[in-house]
């Protein structure tokens, strides 16, 4: 057994070649590829910056073992029965490191496949100019979704050179000529730019171009060194090792590494400067004790760092030391050193400011009408707190008129990050990117962060059935929405006190028929409701809904019970399913499907359409305005033959401008899907719908419906006033509300509800 395990290492070049050839497979007991797109980007960053990415545990397999463990190719590789699948290429069974290997394969080999739960393929790249700048290096790595704009960029080397866009896929190809050609082309591009600027007397432009040309040489040297010399360590188990022993080794694998305690390091470095960081933390700890977070003391330092320099990884915390100089790239390309924190007094002020920001954020997070994390166990992510607190502090420093809009955008970003599980892995680079992106969005409505756009377009792809455990980000986020929706106890009709709040099964765990169905989990969040323990023990117990709900209806009336269940996102259809007798596993599946649909609608209404801070009455009115708006679009498209050219010129021009802006800011946006009139009208506002209908050329097509143009214009005015009041001030006076409600009823009567 002396050769049972053999430590070794492999170059990035050889590893990518083996990935390309399909030599690595994963056993069936391994979990699926779960990394988020930003986790892959972080790994790419580690490779390019020559950081250690951990060791792999491999087992050189035999045909019998490949079959016994039901081994499958890595995600993105051809599967059995698909073109390109080669069973003979299998060589290593991956026992530990599947996520990293798959991420390397996806970023560098670049298979033509969308990431799990995504509609588009992601492409990974490096901004060369940022990578060569020590002050911006951490922000050099990114990804985007492949749409028409990205496809055009990937096919245009000159556009890549101009934007310093290095595609990571160049490293993963079987032929290295495209990589060397790109590196040479990038260098020559900026040499030519420098010569052209010199010829035109533009010395500043020439100086900048020469710097990029010099960087191109250094970057090329670095890339070739990383490709050929970067080493990934691994342990290879002997192929003759017994299968049962290998499985036992796998079950005992755990991450026992001890990370350097950044707080202790900072404390030691600050002591000679007269600052007792441990004492300062003891003074602040009680205010920040609500979340169960072992790293809360580090979070204070991270908030300080984000607010001062955007970055918050351990290496950047060092620059918070009083008097320490940080290298900063100047506009002319030169490097200078800047002191971020001049003295101990400034450090203490920044510490106190960060503590205050975190304390305010925690209070908002736990408030039942703000974010609904009323108990520490229902916080979706503790790791999101530094970014959240830094954004809150930034918003608080804005002029009063801008703060409302800033808070709405921060709220939208928060829910997008939670439902996309963006803070589940390494978060420092995500925090940096998010802080910068949301700040830009606050200043410019058009600069919507990619994460927000991604969430808005893909949230209905979330599979809530698979979220079965309190503590998971999405499970907790849905539970927070229950609280925000005012979920009431089914017996008392009151909102349960936070110290008595618990999540209970709607269909009981003990249901025998459900236990026989191995494809469904009874613990899914879709089968949970926030109730008091008393209600669960004395009313629900182990009974099916068709036993305990009729009792509640008989005692309180169906309308009241229906109203309470709706506060738990259980619709009228969901109630009808729960009351079925007999209640079968098929009915249970139907209930989960209906409740998932209802929760999707709730996310759209409360988060995407920003109705979270509206009263129930205003939410209903806002939804009613939207219903009228959709019906008007359909009517216009129907009467005008779905022909965009029939729109008034100024309306068509505004719509096309909005579509162009959306395409520029969102690479995944498919503008080809907006060629007919009905789809284009999604980018028209109420006033433009009005202008279309009353236009002289098309009004005859609508006279049989609206009859009087002046009446129609007046109703549009009332509807627009209500919509604008809801969307901007969040306060609507009585007259505006009543006139808007009357306009809604008028449109419902004229064109149908």
The segments of the chain whose pLDDT lies below 70 read 1-6, 29, 243-261, 330-333, 425-426, 498-500, 514-520, 610-616, 618-619, 665-669, 727-731, 753
Q: Are residues 93 and 127 in the same domain?
A: yes
What pLDDT score does 259 carry? 42
Based on the fold, state whether residues 575 and 637 are members of the same structural domain: no
Q: Report the distance separating Cα 316 and Cα 443, nearest Å.
A: 26
As to burial, measured by CB atoms within 10 angstroms (0-12 exposed, 13-18 middle, 19+ buried), residue 2 is exposed
Predicted pLDDT at 413: 95
Name the residue with tokens 């098929």: 586
Confirm if 326 and 309 have CB atoms less than 8 A apart. yes
**pLDDT on residue 287:** 94
Q: 201 and 296 share a domain?
A: no
Is residue 620 located within the same domain as residue 594?
no
744 and 683 share a domain? yes
Domain co-membership, 291 together with 439 = yes
Is residue 454 a part of any domain in this protein?
Answer: no
405 contacts 398 by C-beta, under 8 angstroms: no
455 is a domain residue: no
Residue that the structure tokens 């600050």 belong to: 270
Q: Which one-letter DSSP state was computed for residue 701?
A: G
- Cα dist. 380→262, 362, 483, 569 in Å? 24, 12, 13, 19
Is 172 within the bounds of a domain? Answer: yes
Identify whether residues 109 and 220 lie together within a single domain: yes
Tokens linked to 546: 């068709």
Is the residue at 70 inside a domain?
Answer: yes
Burial class (CB in 10 A: 0-12, 13-18, 19+), 588: buried
Distance CA 635, CA 642 (A): 10
Encoded tokens for 159: 């556009």
Measured between alpha carbons, how far is 398 from 449 in angstroms, rounded to an integer? 20
- Give CA–CA dist 597/602, Å, rounded: 9
In angstroms, what CA-CA distances link 178 with 149, 174, 235, 542? Answer: 22, 10, 33, 65
Given a contact cutoff of 8 angstroms between Cβ atoms, the answer to whether 442 and 413 are in contact is no
Helix axes 385-396, 428-443, angle to 10 degrees: 30
Report which of 384, 524, 382 is spatially closest to residue 462, judged by C-alpha positions: 524
Give the model's pLDDT for residue 215.
93
Q: Any idea of the CA torsion for 644, 648, 654, 658, to the nearest 10 degrees?
A: -20
Same domain, 428 and 372: yes
272 lies in the same domain as 221 = no
The encoded tokens of residue 269 equal 């470095």
Tell me which residue has tokens 């009087």: 708
Same domain, 585 and 643: no
Residues 270 and 292 in one domain: yes
State the virtual CA torsion across 177, 181, 183, 189 in degrees, nearest 10. Answer: -170
Q: What is the pLDDT of residue 326?
A: 85
Residue 299: how many other CB atoms lie within 10 Å = 23
Q: Is residue 240 part of a domain?
A: no
Domain termination residue (choose one: 608, 630, 648): 608
Q: Which of 341, 372, 368 is nearest to 354 (CA)?
A: 341
Taking Cα atoms as reference points, which of 548, 508, 505 lies closest to residue 530? 505
User: Rounded to an integer, what distance in angstroms lies between the CA atom of residue 474 and that of residue 417?
Assistant: 10
In a domain, 401, yes or no: yes
- What 3 state SS string does 25-93 have? EECCCCCCCCCCHHHHHHHHHHHHCCCCCCCEEEEECCHHHHHHCCCEECCCCCCCCCCCCCHHHCCEE
Contact criterion met (CB below 8 Å) for 418 and 474: yes
CB within 8 Å of 141: residues ≥ 6 apart: 41, 42, 44, 45, 48, 124, 125, 126, 127, 131, 429
Instruction: Give the count of alpha carbons within 13 A of 54, CB side only.
Output: 14
Whether residue 239 lies inside any domain: the answer is: no
Q: Which domain holds residue 290?
A: 262-443
Of 560, 592, 608, the domain-final residue: 608
Residues in the chain: 753
Contact (Cβ atoms closer than 8 angstroms) between residue 688 and residue 654: yes
For residues 680 and 655, is the Cβ–Cβ distance under 8 A?
yes
Specify the residue for token string 């730019």. 193
**Which of 558, 580, 608 is the endpoint of a domain?**
608
Q: How far apart are CA 362 and CA 385, in angstroms?
A: 8
3-state secondary structure of 678: helix
Long-range contacts of 736-739 (CB under 8 A, 24+ apart): 737/621
Do 272 and 217 share a domain, yes or no?
no
Inter-residue contact 48 to 4 (CB < 8 Å): no
Q: How many domains does the chain have?
A: 4
Alpha-carbon span 589 to 578, nearest angstrom: 11
Closest C-alpha to 740, from 625, 574, 599: 625
Q: What are the strands, taking DSSP E only, across 331-390?
A: 335-339
pTM score, two decimals?
A: 0.66
Burial status of residue 678 (CB atoms within 10 A of its CB: 0-12, 13-18, 19 or more): middle
How many whole angstroms separate alpha carbon 421 and alpha carbon 657? 33
Cis amide prior to 68 (ω within 30 degrees):
no
In a domain, residue 683? The reply is: yes
Contacts of 17 (CB under 8 A, 6+ apart): 174
């Amino acid at each position: 057994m002396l050769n049972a395990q053999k430590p070794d290492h492999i170059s990035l070049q050889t590893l990518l070649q083996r990935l390309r050839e399909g030599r690595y497979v994963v056993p069936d007991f391994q979990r699926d590829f779960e990394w988020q797109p930003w986790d892959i980007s972080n790994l790419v960053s580690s490779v390019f910056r020559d950081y250690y990415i951990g060791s792999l545990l491999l087992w050189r397999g035999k045909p019998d073992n490949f079959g016994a463990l039901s081994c499958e190719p890595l995600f993105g590789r051809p599967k059995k029965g698909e073109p390109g699948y080669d069973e003979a290429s299998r060589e290593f069974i991956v026992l530990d490191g599947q996520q990293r290997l798959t991420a390397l394969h996806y970023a560098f080999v670049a298979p033509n496949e969308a990431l799990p739960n995504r509609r588009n393929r992601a492409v990974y790249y490096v901004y060369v100019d940022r990578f060569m700048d020590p002050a911006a290096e951490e922000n050099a790595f990114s990804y985007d979704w492949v749409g028409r704009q990205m496809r055009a960029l990937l096919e245009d080397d000159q556009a890549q050179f101009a934007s310093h866009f290095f595609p990571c896929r160049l490293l993963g190809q079987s032929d290295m000529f495209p990589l060397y050609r790109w590196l040479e082309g990038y260098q020559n591009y900026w040499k030519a730019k420098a010569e052209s600027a010199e010829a035109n007397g533009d010395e500043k432009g020439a100086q900048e171009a020469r710097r990029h040309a010099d960087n191109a040489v250094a970057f090329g040297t670095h890339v070739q060194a990383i490709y050929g010399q970067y080493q990934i360590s691994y342990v290879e188990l002997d192929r003759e090792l017994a299968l049962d022993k290998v499985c036992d080794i796998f079950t005992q694998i755990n991450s026992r590494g001890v990370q350097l305690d950044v707080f202790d390091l900072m404390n030691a470095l600050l002591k000679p400067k007269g600052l007792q960081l441990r004492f300062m933390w003891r003074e602040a700890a009680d205010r920040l004790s609500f979340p169960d977070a072992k790293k809360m003391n580090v979070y204070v330092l991270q908030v300080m760092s984000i607010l001062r320099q955007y970055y918050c990884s351990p290496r950047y915390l060092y620059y918070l030391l009083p008097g320490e100089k940080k290298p900063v790239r100047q506009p002319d390309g030169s490097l200078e050193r800047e002191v971020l924190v001049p003295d101990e007094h400034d450090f203490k002020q920044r510490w106190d400011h960060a503590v205050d920001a975190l304390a305010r954020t925690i209070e908002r997070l736990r408030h039942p009408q703000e974010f609904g994390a009323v108990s520490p166990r229902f916080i979706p992510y503790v790791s999101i707190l530094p970014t959240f607190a830094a954004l809150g502090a930034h918003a608080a420093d804005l002029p009063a008129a801008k703060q409302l809009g800033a808070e709405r955008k921060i709220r939208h970003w928060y829910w997008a990050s939670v439902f996309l599980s963006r803070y589940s892995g390494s978060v420092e680079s995500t925090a940096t990117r998010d802080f910068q992106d949301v700040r830009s969005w606050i200043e410019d409505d058009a600069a919507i962060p990619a994460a927000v756009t991604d969430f808005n377009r893909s949230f209905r792809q979330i599979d809530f059935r698979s979220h079965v455990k309190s503590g998971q980000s999405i499970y907790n986020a849905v539970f927070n929405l229950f609280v925000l929706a005012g979920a009431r106890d089914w017996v008392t009709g009151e909102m349960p006190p936070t110290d008595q709040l618990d999540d209970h099964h709607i269909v009981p765990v003990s249901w025998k028929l459900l236990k026989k169905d191995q494809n469904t989990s009874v613990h899914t969040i879709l089968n949970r409701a926030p109730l008091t323990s008393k209600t669960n023990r004395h009313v629900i117990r182990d009974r099916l809904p068709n036993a305990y709900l009729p009792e509640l209806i008989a005692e309180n009336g169906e309308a009241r019970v229906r109203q309470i269940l709706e506060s738990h996102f259980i619709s009228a259809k969901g109630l009808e399913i729960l009351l079925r007798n007999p209640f079968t596993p098929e009915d249970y599946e139907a209930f989960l499907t209906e409740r998932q649909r209802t929760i999707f609608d709730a996310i759209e209404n409360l988060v995407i359409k920003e109705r979270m801070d509206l009263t129930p009455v205003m939410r209903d009115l806002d939804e009613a305005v939207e219903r009228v708006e959709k019906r008007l679009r359909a009517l216009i498209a129907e009467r005008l033959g779905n022909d965009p050219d029939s729109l008034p010129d100024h309306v068509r021009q505004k719509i096309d401008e909005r579509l162009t802006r959306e395409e520029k800011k969102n690479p995944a946006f498919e503008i080809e899907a907006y060629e007919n009139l009905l789809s284009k009208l999604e980018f028209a506002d109420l006033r433009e719908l009005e202008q279309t209908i009353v236009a002289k050329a098309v009004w005859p097509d609508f006279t049989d419906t609206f009859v009087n143009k002046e009446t129609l214009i007046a109703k549009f005015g009332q509807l627009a006033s209500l919509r604008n009041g809801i969307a901007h001030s969040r306060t609507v006076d009585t007259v505006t509300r009543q006139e808007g409600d009357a306009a809604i009823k008028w449109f419902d009567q004229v064109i149908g509800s």
